[in-house]
Every structure is written in C-alpha cells, then in structure tokens.
A and B are shown apart, each in its own frame.
Chain A
C-alpha cells in the first residue's frame, strides 16, 4: 500500500504536443491517499484508462512523474511497481484451474505453496469462488471469469494499489450490484488502495470516497459525492452527474442582475461580486432538484416566467420540463398543479444557483 502522487503528469500519444487537444491527458497534479477508495469518472475517451495505465506502468507518460510513497516510479516497468489491475473484459489463463489462476500472481513472485494455498482460499471465499477452485477456468460463465480476474487483482496483499478498469461492464445488473458491495467490503477488510475507472456515475458514487471527474483528458473536479452534487466546480460535472443533469443556462450580467433568456434575475451578493466585470461566457447552473415552480402571479426577483412543456409522474416525484425563452429547464418536484401549456414562474433559490465563468465555477 502506498500514497500515489502524480506530479505535473501529462500524456500525448503523438510527439511534440502544442495545443491542449494534442494531449490524451492534460497536465495535472494529484495526490491519492493510502488506503482510499477512488473512482475515476468520465465519458468514454476522456483519458481515464490512459491515466490508469500510466499509474500501473503499462503506458509511460510523456511528461511528469508518478510517485509511490514519494519514490519516483515513472521509469519502472509494471512488473517492478507492485500494482494490481483488473481489466474491462475477463482475462483468464484458459489452461489453468480457478485455483491456479488465482495463485498465478503469487507463484510468479516466489510465494511458498502453503501460503499461496491459504491466501487463494481466503480470496476465493470473499468472492464466493470457493466451490469452483478445482474447475478449469475456461469452462466457466463470463461472470465467474470476471470474478477470477477480480480475484487475481486482490490476491496480493502487499500491492501499492488495485486498479479497476470498468470491471463490471460484462457482469449482469443484479450481480453487478452484489459485486460492487463486495468490493466495498473487501476494501474495508483489506485496507487496500483502490482506484476504480467507470463511466457510470452511480457506480462511482456508491463505490468511492472520492470521485475524480474527467473530461477531454482533463481532471475537472475531485470530491465526495455530496460535493459533486451540490457544488460542481465545472459545468461538465453539473451536466454529467445527476439524472437529469444540472440545468445550464447562458446569461449576461446587466447592472448587478443576470439576464437569462431575455428576463432579468437577481444575483446573490457573492455572485454579483464574482461576476463584476467578468469577460467571457457566463453560465447559470441550477440542479433540477432545487428548481421550484410557483404560480404565474407570484412574481419575485428570483423567479422567471416559463411555460410547462411536459410533466411526468416518476412515482416518487414529478419530472417537469419547462420552456424558458429558447431553452428547456428540467425540475424534480414533489407536487405540481400545472399542466402542459400553462404559464408558471420558476424560482431558482439564490443559495442553490451557481454561476460559471468559461465553464469554471465562480459563485
């Protein structure tokens, strides 16, 4: 186990990158605590697998350093880094039994056979593979094969970290849920550092203590599930996390007020200060959970006129869509007494309304 630090790390697959878009991974510095459970969350192609492969040493970064417990391992090959990684699709050694598959990483490192046996049984127990140990691995189902892959990742107790690259993609939904919980239990039990790559926000938020959100090769925010939900630092985080994502409305500032879709909205004190004289694209962000719908005659400085587009009853809440000027605003409401076509006013609570300057949060 080790603390992992990335120092001004960047990676470009082609030589001599100049523009930011030349980088698969834009320059970043980050520190990951020993024994933590982290998730790397982002859409496909955002560079999260590249980052993972750099940590494990499968890819050598073009810039910067990787430190394990302060020791520079950038030039060390994977074999010398003492790290475990589980891949998206099951990788098993066809000709071996389940037991031999799990024992393989230990035997390669010269463990004594008695200890190998003990450890393999322990890991098999955790993953509920004990009954299959004598089976040949190639004959098992995809689920079981992926469990073997997970087991090989977890079998070495002394690794710096275990890296997971979307390991539950091939698992069916019910088992996925069980395995995710299992991994969390194992994390508590073994106190291994885990880094988990996924594009599924639910998976990331339930698994990890800290979620690292990436887009286009850039880390845009690192934080707890709560921080990502309540205070997205980047419009991408707002849009990507949540279902539906944050309402993002472009606006301009006039005389200490925001002009949104042709209407004026009062700015909170900190927002007014942050946006005074701001140059660039200003975006207003408010989560659907915080949007309130009031009747058309309850005009206020923090409300905007809108038309109801559609209302869906989701069982636990209503999901409503509103037309506000040229844009659509979504809201999750406990109750609504308006139907499609009605004119209403939407209230954006000032303490829940965030402002972004060039996609970065300023208030």
Chain B
C-alpha cells in the first residue's frame, strides 16, 4: 500500500535534533578522531583504518577484553540468581516490606566513588573490618598485592552494590503476579519448586530481561569502583576495558587509537545487548511446537 501523507515525519524532527546533539554528533567526533593522526591542532593526517588495525592487534587490549567478559559473566551469574532469591525471601506487605525495601535499596543510593572508598577501607588489613578479620582468621588477604584477592574484592563490591537492583526489579515482578496463580497452584498440588519453575520464573521473564541487560551494560562499562579500590592493579589484574581506554585517551593522549577502540567498545556492547535481547525473547516465546 502506498503512503499518502509523509508529513508525519516532520513530527519526529525535534527528537531527531535532540538525538543528533546528544548522541550522533559526539559519536561523529570520535569517528573523526579514529581515522586521523592529530599531531598538533593545525597538523593532522588521514590514516584510514590504521588505528583500528593497531588496536585490534593490541595484546593488552585482548587481555582487558577477556578480563571484562569474565567479570561481567561472573557478576551476572551471581547477581541474577541472588537477586531472585532475595526477592523471593522479602515480605510481601506491611511495615516489614517497607523496611526490607529501604534496607535493600541502600547500596543503590551510594555514589560509585564512595562505594570504592568504602570497600578500600573495609578491606584494609590494618584498619578495615573485613581485611583485619580475614587476616586474624589466618587468611592471607591483601587486595593490593594478590590479584585473586583484588578480583574477588571487586566482584564482591559489585555484587553488594548492584544485586539490590536485581532484587528490586524481581520483587516488583513478583508482586505483579495475581493471587489466583498461587491459589491455582495450591489446588493443583504444586510443590514450592514447581510454583517457582512454572509460575514465578515465567512471570519474571520481562523484568529479568531488563535486569540482565542493565547489569550487563553497567558491569561491562565498570570504571569508578575498581579505579578507586585497586587502580587497576596489582599489575593489570583489575584493569577493565573502560579503564584501559581512559589510560590510552587521557593518560597517554593517544586520541586516535583510543577513539578507534571506543567505537569497537560501543559496537561490542550493542552486539551483546542485541544477542541477549533476542535470545531471552526466544526463551520466552519461541519454542512453540
């Protein structure tokens, strides 16, 4: 069918303008940097795909990317089930529900760099509650010296900071399930596990999708907390992608490679989100026989 009137397109012009200034123009600046070698404000050379090739072959970047994938994968694997579990255990109504909500939401209210500082002090062997306790229990814990300790600390910190988000989303999803489902399950003689498997989990699908996407994007871009806590160390043990990028762009002022890398980074996140989204949609509705 032929469209008779195209004037409706004018109505989206304001949105287009907003998006242009907030996203497209800054992105184009990055594109601009990524294909030039800027020697001085007046002297620049077009280099084509050279920065991209260089960045792609960068061994440090490969290990940062792997580290990043491992990190995002492990925090997702812990935060999502843990969040569901917490949401299931939270009281449904009354003052207890309000109290639980406030307590659970507390970590979300703390600014990123403060979270980093809290854990930096918390984990110190001399004055930190956790570090001191662990050391007095005979466990040799030192997040500044031992890469495994550093890794675990960053992970526990992220889990502490962001599991509440997953829990709150799941809690909202659980409250939205009509009572009739639970009543029907009781009539049908369903076990607690069956109620979870066949009622709660399917009904949580949409909020879980949002939770997974949010947590994936956020954890894949993690910067402030490990920067404050470990500074990326010891060695490069907790240097994740965004920190590596910042070192390149701001530390060494290699704007060309940094821009090329930014674009790749952007595409990776876009790709992962797309794949995750399609996959979770498929899990919910696709396998019709």
**Chain A: CB-nearest residue to B180:** A87
Query: Which of A85, A104, A109, A134 meets B289, CB within 8 Å?
Result: A134
Interface flag for B199 (CB, 8 Å): yes
Cβ < 8 Å to A, chain B residues 160-206: 178, 180-181, 183-184, 186-191, 194, 198-199, 202-203
Interface size on A, residues (CB 8 A): 31
Interface residues of A (CB under 8 A from B): 53, 56-58, 77-79, 83-85, 87-89, 91, 93-97, 104-105, 108-109, 134-136, 138-139, 149, 152-153
Taking a contact as CB atoms closer than 8 A, the residue among B190, B191, B288 that contacts A139 in the complex is: B288
Interface contact B198-A91, CB-CB below 8 Å: no
Of B181, B188, B202, B289, the residue contacting A108 (CB under 8 A) is: B188
Question: Nearest 9 pairs between A and B by C-beta?
Answer: A108-B189, A91-B184, A105-B188, A78-B186, A94-B202, A93-B198, A87-B180, A95-B202, A85-B187
Q: What residues of chain B lie closer than 8 Å to A79, measured between beta carbons?
A: 186, 189
Q: Which residue of A lies closest to B187 (CB)?
A: A85
Residues of B within 8 A of A136 (CB): 287-289
Contacts of A109 in B (CB 8 A): 189
- The answer on a CB contact under 8 Å between A84 and B187 is yes
User: A109 vs B194: C-alpha distance in the bound complex, in angstroms?
Assistant: 12
Residue of A nearest to B186 (CB): A78
Whether B189 lies near A58 (C-beta < 8 A) is no
Determine if A108 and B191 form an interchain contact, defined as CB atoms under 8 angstroms apart: yes
A263–B199 alpha-carbon span in the complex (Å) = 65
Question: Judging by beta carbons under 8 Å apart, are A85 and B198 in contact?
Answer: no
CA distance A152 to B289 in the complex (A): 21
- Cβ contacts B73-113/A at 8 Å (1 or 0 each): 00000000000000000000000000000000000000000
Q: B5: CB under 8 A from chain A?
A: no
Chain B contacts for A58, CB-based, 8 A: 183, 186
Given A87-B180, A105-B189, 12 more contacts at CB 8 Å? A56-B187, A83-B187, A89-B180, A91-B181, A91-B184, A94-B203, A95-B198, A104-B190, A105-B188, A108-B188, A108-B190, A109-B189
- Residue of chain B at shortest CB distance from A83: B187
- B188 and A104 contact, CB distance less than 8 A: yes
Bound CA span A136–B198, Å: 13
B40 interface residue (CB < 8 Å to A): no
In contact, B183 and A97 (Cβ under 8 angstroms): no
How long is the Cα–Cα vector from A56 to B183 in the complex, in angstroms? 10
**Which chain B positions have C-beta within 8 A of A108?**
188-191, 194
